[in-house]
Amino acid sequence: MLNPADDSFADTLAAQLPPDSLRRTEPRHIEEPRGRWQGSSGWVALPRQTSEVATIVRACAKSKVGIVPYGGGTGLVGGQVAPKGAPLLLSLDRMTAIREIWPQENAMTVDAGAILVDVHAAAEGADRLFPLGLASQGSARIGGLLSTNAGGINTLRYGNARDLVLGLEAVLPDGQIWNGLKRLRKDNTGYDLRHLLIGAEGTLGVITAASLKLYPRPAAVGTAFFATPSPDTALGLLTLARSQLGDAIQAFELIHRQGLDFLAETLPDIRRPWSEPPDWCVLIEIGTGPGTDPAGLLETLFETALDNGLSEDGLIAQSEAQAQDFWTVREHIPEANRRIGAISSHDIALPLSAIPAFIPEATAALACIDRFRINCFGHLGDGNLHFNVFPVPGRTRADHADQSDAIKTCVHDLTHAMGGSVSAEHGIGRLKTGDLARYGDPAKLAAMRAIKGALDPHGIMNPGAVLPA
Residues between 188 and 217 that touch a copy of itself (CB under 8 A):
188-193, 195-196, 198-200, 204, 216
**29, 379, 400, 458: residue in contact with a copy of itself (rule CB under 8 A):** 379
Q: Mask 398-437, x = binds a copy of itself (CB under 8 A)?
A: ---------------------xxxxxxxxxx---x--xx-
The amino acid sitting at 469 is: A
Shortest reach from residue 220's CB to a copy of itself, in Å: 12
By the rule CB under 8 A, 356 interacts with a copy of itself: no
Nearer to a copy of itself among residue 195 and residue 272 (C-beta): 195
User: Rounded to an integer, what distance in angstroms lies between the CA atom of residue 199 and that of residue 144?
Assistant: 9
By the rule CB under 8 A, 99 interacts with a copy of itself: no
Query: Percentages helix, strand, coil for the chain, rounded to the nearest 5?
Result: 40, 20, 40
Are the C-beta atoms of 142 and 133 separated by less than 8 Å?
Answer: no
Return the residues of window 15-74 that contact a copy of itself according to CB under 8 A: none
By the rule CB under 8 A, 275 interacts with a copy of itself: no
Shortest reach from residue 164's CB to a copy of itself, in Å: 11
User: Rounded to an integer, what distance in angstroms lies between the CA atom of residue 389 and that of residue 301?
Assistant: 33
By the rule CB under 8 A, 182 interacts with a copy of itself: yes
Shortest reach from residue 435's CB to a copy of itself, in Å: 8
Nearer to a copy of itself among residue 4 and residue 151 (C-beta): 151
**114, 350, 366, 411: residue in contact with a copy of itself (rule CB under 8 A):** 350
Return the residues of window 450-469 that contact a copy of itself according to CB under 8 A: 450-451, 453-455, 466-467
By the rule CB under 8 A, 136 interacts with a copy of itself: no
Torsion-angle region of residue 31: left (phi > 0), alpha (psi -120 to 50) or beta?
beta
Number of Cβ within 10 Å of residue 206's Cβ equals 27
Are the C-beta atoms of 214 and 108 separated by less than 8 Å?
Answer: yes
User: Rounded to an integer, what distance in angstroms lies between the CA atom of residue 195 and that of residue 68?
Assistant: 20
Are the C-beta atoms of 71 and 143 separated by less than 8 Å?
Answer: yes
Nearer to a copy of itself among residue 337 and residue 423 (C-beta): 423
Nearer to a copy of itself among residue 151 and residue 259 (C-beta): 151
Are the C-beta atoms of 198 and 208 separated by less than 8 Å?
Answer: no
Are the C-beta atoms of 467 and 433 separated by less than 8 Å?
Answer: yes
The three-state DSSP-derived secondary structure of 148-171 is CCCCCCCHHHHCCHHHHEEEEEEE
Nearer to a copy of itself among residue 106 and residue 137 (C-beta): 106
Q: Mask 225-264, x = binds a copy of itself (CB under 8 A)?
A: ----------x---x--xxxxxxx----------------
By the rule CB under 8 A, 108 interacts with a copy of itself: no
Piece in contact with a copy of itself (CB under 8 A), picked from 19-27, 56-64, 144-152, 366-374: 144-152
- 41: buried, middle or exposed (CB in 10 Å: 19+, 13-18, 0-12)? middle
User: Rounded to an integer, what distance in angstroms lies between the CA atom of residue 145 and that of residue 198?
Assistant: 9
Shortest reach from residue 150's CB to a copy of itself, in Å: 9
